[in-house]
Structure 1
Amino acid sequence: MRIGLAANQAHHSHAESALFRWLRASQQGIRELDIRLHAVGRTYDAIVRDGVLGDYAGLLRYPYGREGGLMKLVAEIVGLPESGRALDGAVYLMHPVDPSSIFPEAIALKRQCVIHQKPFISTVASARDWVELERILAGFAPDPGADALHALEHQTLALIAHDAMKPQMVAYAAEHFDVLSRFAQRIATGTTGQRLNELAWSRGWPQEQDWVQRYQSGPMGGDAQIADLVLERRCQRALFFEDPHVARQHEADIQLLERAVTTVTDDAVCMTSPAVARRWAEAVRRRAELRPC
């Protein structure tokens, strides 16, 4: 498995930075899965300097960002026909006030991950969660250190989908209704929430009870309302099915929600494609069988 890796400078500037919190928590899983980390220059240098991965042979160096390192990650997410090289996803730990996180190559990295249905991971919690789900799907025993991430009965889940993706969100919820129903609370923006409630009622959920608490539609401020819950640590996980092919009039609101997630990097998990969300749901079921709550 090949994963692109980058972190904004504030996330690797000292030993307790976000990058090293993730690597310390997940290095066993990284080694077990033999994940090849294709790290952009400064991120690579910081890992070597800290020594957190020791002599791990799967750490590979790419050029500095100013020399095109992040651009190369974007190209390899898409895939390079002449070399056959392709990345399976990207971990890009974003700091909410670092301007480089909105450079074209940073935006393109996320967009191409969404288009090609590969994981785009921008927070410490998401990175830890992703390593654990891949461990479970590979047949490894659950990591007790990841139990808090899987305490769904104490978490709130946000379900957000752009117009073209709403049918996929409803189909996903129907397929994984059991997993999503484990959450203490589910929230959603307007139309998505109504469709999900109608699905739940058709599945026998009490008609007088909403399965999803509805907020405003995205253009009317629903993304901003959910962002506030994320910042207050009252929403721990988001499924955000994005449509990367259309211009979005409320792009600023979408970016606000994404920035809120990266602000609470140790506490918020975000998944941005149906393929990644399906793998997560499968891992949740397997993990529950192996480590009953």
Structure 2
Amino acid sequence: MRLGLAANRLHHQTDDGALFNWMQHCEAGIRELQLQLHTVGRTYDALLDAGRLKDYPGLISYPYGRQGGLMQLVAEVVGMGTPERTLDGVVYLMDPVDPSSIFPEALALKRQCVIHGKPFLSTVASARDWIEMERIHAGFAPDPGADAFHHLEQHTLALIAHDAMKPTMMEFVSRNFDLLSRFDKRVGTGTTGQQLNELAWSKGWPKDRMWVNRFNSGPLGGDAQIAALVLNNQCQRAIFFEDPHVARQHEADIQLLERAVTTATTTAVCTTAPQVAQRWCDAAVKRASLR
């Protein structure tokens, strides 16, 4: 597999930066999976300077961002005609207050990952969780260091879907209802939350109990309410099925939730592609059977 890799300056300028946090926990898994990391210039330099992935042939240098490195990752998410120039996803550790995180190439990178159903991993927690997911699918034993991401009975899950993606969310939840019911709490916005409660009741969930705690609709501040939970470490995982093809009147609210996730980089896992969300569910069920 091939992943693009970039990190904003905040995440690699000190020894405890997010990039090195990820490496500390996942370097062994990266080597086990034989991942290729197509790494934008400054991030590549930071790894070498820190002695991470030393002599690892899968660490591949790309131009600096100012020289088009991030733009090149966007093109290779879409695909450049040959397998060796097509990325399977991207780790982009984002600093929500770094202006480069909202440059056109940064926004396009996420959008193309969503369109093409590929992982866009913008937090340490998401990147760690993804490595463990792929390890389980590859047949490796569970990593005890990733157990914290699978204590579902202690976690809150946010389930959010834009209008065009609501049927996809309903199908996803119906297919994975037993697993998702293991979470301590589930939260959602407006219409999506109501539809999910009705689905749960149709599956035998007690009629006097909400399966999803409903917040306001997105345009009326529901995204902001859930963002507050993320920032206060009261929501550990968000599954957010976005529709990248429509203009959204409440774009600022959506960006607020995304910024909250990247602010809580070590605790918040966010999944935006249905294919990736399903792959995580399959891995979580398999992992539980191995414990």
- State the TM-score, normalized to the length of structure 2: 0.99
Distance 2:268 2:205 in 1: 28
Please report how far the alpha carbon of residue 15 of structure 1 lies from its aligned counterpart in structure 2 after TM superposition.
1.3
Moved beyond 2 Å, runs of 4+ = none
Structure-1 residue corresponding to 2:77: 77
Distance 2:184 2:128 in 1: 21
Counterpart code for 2:181: S
SS of structure 1 residue aligned to 2:228: helix
Distance 2:11 2:99 in 1: 13
Please show how residues 1-293 of structure 1 align to structure 2 within 5 Å: 1-81=1-81, 85-291=85-291
Q: After the TM superposition, which of the residue ranges 180-189 and 73-82 deviates more from structure 2?
A: 73-82
Distance 1:217 1:258 in 2: 16
- State the TM-score, normalized to the length of structure 1: 0.98
Distance 2:85 2:33 in 1: 19
Please report how far the alpha carbon of residue 76 of structure 1 lies from its aligned counterpart in structure 2 after TM superposition.
0.1
SS of structure 1 residue aligned to 2:281: helix
Please report how far the alpha carbon of residue 133 of structure 1 lies from its aligned counterpart in structure 2 after TM superposition.
0.3
1:148-205 deviations in Å (ceiling 9; x for gaps):
1110100000000000000000000000001100100000001000000000000000
The verdict on how the C-alpha distance between 1:13 and 1:84 changes in structure 2, with shifts beyond 3 A counting, is closer
In structure 1, runs of 5+ residues without a counterpart are none
Counterpart code for 1:65: G
SS of structure 1 residue aligned to 2:105: helix
SS of structure 2 residue aligned to 1:238: strand
Please report how far the alpha carbon of residue 54 of structure 1 lies from its aligned counterpart in structure 2 after TM superposition.
1.7
Distance 2:50 2:162 in 1: 41
SS of structure 1 residue aligned to 2:63: coil
SS of structure 1 residue aligned to 2:240: strand
Equivalenced residues, count: 291
Please report how far the alpha carbon of residue 83 of structure 1 lies from its aligned counterpart in structure 2 after TM superposition.
7.3
The verdict on how the C-alpha distance between 1:286 and 1:198 changes in structure 2, with shifts beyond 3 A counting, is same
RMSD of aligned residue pairs (Cα, Å): 0.8
Counterpart code for 1:56: Y
SS of structure 2 residue aligned to 1:37: strand
Please report how far the alpha carbon of residue 56 of structure 1 lies from its aligned counterpart in structure 2 after TM superposition.
1.0
In structure 2, runs of 5+ residues without a counterpart are none
